[in-house]
Amino acid sequence: MEKKVKVMIVDDNVDTVELLSKRFRALGYDIATAYDGEQALRMVGESRPDLIVLDIMMPKVDGYEVCRQLKGNESTKHIPILMLTAKSEVPEKIRGLDTGADEYLTKPFDYNELAARVRSLLAKKEASIELAQKEKRAALDYMVDEVSHEVRNPLVAIGGFARRIAKNLPAGDPNRKYIEIILENVTSLEKMVTQLVALKSAVVSTPKAEDINGLVGLVLDRFKQRLKDSGISVVTHYMKNPPMVPVDHENMVRAVTNIIENGIEAMENSSRKELTVSTRVNDDWLEIEIADCGRGISPDIINNIYDPFFTSKIYGPGLGLTFALKTIRSHGGTISVLSEVGQGSCFVIRLPVVSK
């Protein structure tokens, strides 16, 4: 269920659009098309392309203006733009690059060269995103350590004194309800600190070869009563005789637990309540797929779901997916998600298979 790279082709020449669409589809890309600048600007937000091939000479709004507007918008400025033009003069190229274009190709062009430049731009974009994510994770790790350290000591004092007061208050005391609220919040914060401390263990593992079917089954057993109480049916598709994979048992159980728990919570108000868990081998990876029929994740926030403290829930510090990501990466694996609002989410964990 890998998401395909989407290329948007913007050109007022129908033949050019059709030919480029055919070529790029043959290379495995998804395609979006627009036939003038106005249409392109309207469609970008909905299509969310990974790269735009943009003609310059178009009616209504030319390519220069389209490029300028896209690069001036916070939500679209990171989309690589490759400009196409019949003009080969240097001033035209300079103007195109000055508006923010990432590449420039003169018509008529060689399709192999165009494809190579598209691949290069996509690779640069991916490298830039990875670097930004690495820096972001480092900053978040530092913040997590600081928050954990600064919160723990005062929390112990608040919780200790509040519990002592609660113990000494008579049953009918009107202040008891306030102490109970304090203790509820203390419990929530204590859980958060525990999860923060656990994040450190996510990257410290002692892997042993394990049957993933058994591990996933163990996690589902722990949720058996909760799934029953929530009216959620479970569908499993386990691969027969899966290859053994090296995992830290406790950390991987917790990672899978966090993902399944998110799926259960996402289906609280769903008309359809079904959790599907599958295992399979794809090339040299063993994959665990966990799909729910819940509320789904908005495209605006899907890139932030692994961040510490990020949550769309009313309560909860939002550390479960952060732990899952760290654990899976520490095992040399990956985690990805596809989601549609109102339809549900599908997480795929990929772990390297033990070489025989």
Question: For the segment 57-109, what is each residue's pLDDT rounded down to a tens digit?
Answer: 888 888 899 999 999 888 888 899 998 887 665 566 566 667 788 888 888 88
Same domain as 193, residue 269: no
Contact assessment for residue 40 and residue 83, using Cβ atoms and an 8 Å cutoff: no
Number of domains in the chain: 3
Say whether both 53 and 143 belong to one domain. Answer: no
- State the amino acid at position 334 in one-letter form: T
DSSP 354: P
Q: Provide the token pair at 272.
A: 């359809």
Average pLDDT over all residues of the chain: 86
The CB-based long-range contact list for 22-29 (8 Å cut-off, 24+ gap) reads 23/111, 23/115, 24/115, 24/118, 27/115, 28/4, 29/4, 29/5
Q: Is the predicted pLDDT of residue 312 greater than 70, yes or no?
A: no
Asked if residue 117 is part of any domain, the answer here is: no
CATH number for position 79: 3.40.50.2300
pTM of the complete model beyond 0.85: no
pLDDT for residue 87: 65
Strand partners, 41: none
**Is 275 found in the same domain as 192?**
no
Residue 91's domain comprises 6-109
Between CA 41 and CA 46 the distance in angstroms is 10
Query: What CATH number does the domain containing 266 carry?
Result: 3.30.565.10
In a domain, 15, yes or no: yes
Q: Is 182 left (phi over 0), alpha (psi -120 to 50) or beta?
A: alpha
pLDDT digits (tens, 9 = 90+) for 184-237: 988 888 877 777 766 666 666 688 999 999 999 999 999 999 999 999 999 999
**Tokens at residue 54, please?**
């943009």
- Picking from 201, 224, 242, the residue at the C-terminal end of a domain is 201
Q: Is residue 127 part of a domain?
A: no
Quick one: pLDDT at residue 109? 84
The β-bridge partners of 209 are 246
Q: Per the structure block, which two tokens stand in for 131?
A: 């670097």
Which residues 6+ apart lie within 8 Å of 1 measured at CB?
289, 336, 338, 346, 348
Residue 314 has pLDDT above 60, yes or no: no
223 and 312 part of one domain: yes
Q: For residues 313 and 244, state if they share a domain.
A: yes
pLDDT at residue 340 is higher than 80: yes
Q: Are residues 168 and 269 in the same domain?
A: no
- Dig out the tokens for 262 from the structure: 């998110």
Q: Which of 52, 136, 149, 35 is nearest to 102 (CA)?
A: 52
pLDDT at 315 over 60: no
Q: Are residues 66 and 27 in the same domain?
A: yes
345 lies in the same domain as 258: yes
What is the average per-residue pLDDT within 341-350? 93
Q: Give, to the nearest 10 degrees, the angle between helix 37-47 and helix 63-71.
A: 30
The yes-or-no verdict on residue 356 having pLDDT over 50 is no
Q: Nearest Cα to 247, choosing from 105, 339, 97, 353?
A: 353
pLDDT value for 317 = 45
Strands 334-340 and 344-352 come out as: antiparallel
Residue at 116 is within a domain: no
pLDDT tens per residue, range 251-294: 999 999 999 999 999 998 888 999 999 999 998 899 999 999 99
- Angle subtended by helix axes 111-168 and 176-201, to nearest 10: 140
Phi–psi pair at 64, nearest 5 degrees: -60, -45
Nearest to 85 by CA among 67, 106, 58: 106
DSSP assignment of 275-326 equals: EEEEEEEETTEEEEEEE--SS---TTTGGGTTSTT--SSSSS---HHHHHHH
Q: Is residue 114 part of a domain?
A: no
Residue 128 lies in a domain: no
Are residues 184 and 191 in contact, defined by beta-carbon separation less than 8 angstroms?
no
DSSP helix, strand, coil percent of the chain (3-state; round to 5): 50, 20, 30
d(CA 322, CA 338): 17
Instruction: Pick the more confident residue, 296 or 206.
Output: 296
The pLDDT tens digits for 142-185 are 776 777 777 888 888 998 999 999 888 888 898 888 999 999 98
